[in-house]
Chain A
Amino acid sequence: MTENQVEESFWREHPVLKEFIRDQIPLITGVFIAGILISYLKYGYLPGADSAFPIAGIRVPIWHLLWMGLWTGYTMGIVGQASGIFLLAYAMSVLQYTNVSLTPTSLIITFLNPFGALLGFWREKQWNFDLAIWLCIGAFFGSPIGPFIRVFLLNDPVTFKCILGITLLIMAIDLCIQVTPWYLNKTTRQRSFKEKFDNLMKKCRKAGKAPSGLPADFRIVTLERSWRRLTIGYWGEEQTLNIPLMVFIGFIVGVISSAIGAGGGFLLVPILVSLFGLPMYVLVAASIPYVITLSITGLFSYTVTLPMLTGVSAPSDWSFGLFVASGAILGAWMASKTQKFIPEKYLKPMLGVVTGVVGLLYIINYFWKLPFNV
């Protein structure tokens, strides 16, 4: 065997390693270096354990930020979401990052978080413009409104924590419902789709391709399109979606998520599953562009529109956000690779209980001051 053939067969045997080196390392390193550069350019020094992040106003070692991104990105990734909600709770309650700039900073992270996955979808050409565009249009008009709510109605940390508590509770209920027989029966179509998918993945692995991507013949095709209805087809299944309803969902989720600083997956995914019964592999084609659109329009509103219209500014801490995002990209990628080995039956209720308890504490603390810090 020549040297080239040996190298080729090595990569064929280790497709995940190949994907990590080709896609993830450049992305993670790039975001991390951008964090260091921005620190020096904007603040003139590298914030961390000794000197506080100027906008966040807290001292925290950089390794802790990478770790926070990694663990929130991983645990949320396992249940199919971006790191936003866990990150907000941890940053507020443990790091004591409680000022308004936390929300736009979190939007930087939810914006960068899905890029690892995005590279994969782009390579596999798994896109359906018609499916994503209506939700994105909703987000485009909805998310610029959120910052005004955050700055004028939710600027008190206790009130903000109460709203975050409600979202944590919604997520906890959703996680617990997902393992009930009722939900599993409802999503039979998803299960049959998953079996079909798993079979193909086995073949994929044998051929030496990374098993997390979608098969070459997988396409989400538009079968029919008008101003009112959209019919999509994927792998022999068909689904009709109501377009005004999609725009409305995108809008409402956009307003709420950009006010909180989350990507919107925590609301969008359960809504789309319960209304349309779409499988996760199809949903991500809509939710990934949605989260990116929501984050960028929300961020723009915090940085430009809000100060321009009201004179009140809520700048984001870019270096804090970029350091966390580089960890979150790695965490989300690790989740996508290991998800199929994790027994969801135990993990989802466990995460659900943890999330629910934190959410409840935040809500209770709003009405009756708790004797300890939350």
Chain B
Amino acid sequence: MTRARAALGLLGLLACSPTEHGPRFRAAGARQPRDGGTLRFSVAEPIATLDPAIGYDEVSYYALHALFDSLVGFAPDGLAIVPRLAARWDISPDGLTYTFELRAGIAFSDGTPITPADMKYGLERVLALADSPFTGYLDDVEGAHAMVGHAATTCTGIVASGDHQLVIHLARANPAFLAILAMPFATPQRAAHVAAAGEQLRRQPDATGPFLLARWDEGNRLELRRNPRYYDPARIHLDAIVMLENTPRDTQFQLFERGELDTAEKLGAPDYLFVMTEPAWRPYVHRTVGMNVFGSRMNVTRKPFDDVRVRRAFNYALAKTHTARLLNDSTVPSHGILPPGMLGRDPELAPYPHDVARARRLLAEAGYPDGLDVTYATPSDEETQKVAGSLQSDLAEAGIRVHLDVMSFATFATAVSLPDGPAFSFTSWAAEFADPINFLEPRFHSRSIKPPETGGTTNDSFYRNPALDALLDAAHQELDAGARAALYRRAERILYDDVPWIWDYHRVTAEVLQPYVQGYAPHPIWIRDYTAAWLDLGPDGARVKR
């Protein structure tokens, strides 16, 4: 009886939930960016490390990007390369020699000037470290292989000359090289600091960026403080950035609504729908298409996927609008692997339409007039399962009976890269550096099929096409951006027709900000880069109540 009453009471409470839905604070109304204040945000995972040569995951990147400046960077609103530690650079006509002129007056946070030798050491450390995930990105640098194989202790292709000049010689031209050098690993480091810190280097970053480490209560809270020695103080407005780790999504939104966080990203569906439909919040929701792609890969060497008609039928059978709705309209339908905004993406190509009749016809031509049974491997996270369920019911309409094989992410990741692993599965790719090279070569060049003994196959549709290989290789040598884009468009066209994947969508990042957070939008590569944000607070530095 008492329990029954309690249930009724609870129901009553829910029925008349609070009427106050909008932001608690407002912008103070400053015209000019205002200095000062602490920006607070949270992430669901822990920060793995603060060592720029090791940190690789999205969450560690948020911290690393604020702690370390590279030679070059990306423009705040896109993928254009802008100067950072290098004031300017010159590329030789053959694309093999990069001469960087370091900015005058750059220093580590203790005031010691940054020299080209520090820059050289920083890059060489990446080559020398066995567990650095970035070693491969410097593949094209002359002498890199000798260092990776530990035959050499220094890289002949990286030359520090004088007080301000760094010259990098490439063995093979690489038009993505500047985009690679924009990543946080390409930052100067001091050999003395690395040696002194030893094992503790992951907790003792030698900051070169706009912020430095104030405190790290590992697993809970990271606090970054403005770097007083930063060379471009006008770009930085915040006093501090606080990052809460291991905060679940719904907790994040509760803290955000209470005003204890200044931004919230990766909202759960109910919270996302709430801010998108609540007029008081909607203006503060920012959406950016990420440098990613999601779809389903097919092993084109295995039946029934060795028949292009089957692969096309699968593409026609999928309704991309269904995926989009299930993901709360946070997607852009894709016609290939390159996301919007990427060099070489052909805007003329339209995504495969949802056409069940055509899918059935193609299947009949391929010898499956009564449809067919296939198994679809998918990792066990909620979002992927939603998408897989939608694919299952879409394909069923075309007579394709999909049996789901749900596995843990670790099992899934290993299984799909094996030639005799699941032939049909969910797949995704996110840019590590913003260049089509980073999408097309790992996923579709025959070179990216490795023997099963060594592992490391990223072309897990096992797609081999000499014509595509030739185009990708030519584009890898092409230094003129226009000519390169044309080559990639031809490559996209081949893949569009050959469909080694079911092209599905690019994910949109959505982030909701408190009204006083200014000068910020999610970046396509960095996503949560608050280094140049500012807070429109009251004259006393407090958040202004509505």
* A associates with B: no
Q: Which residues of A contact B (CB under 8 A)?
A: none
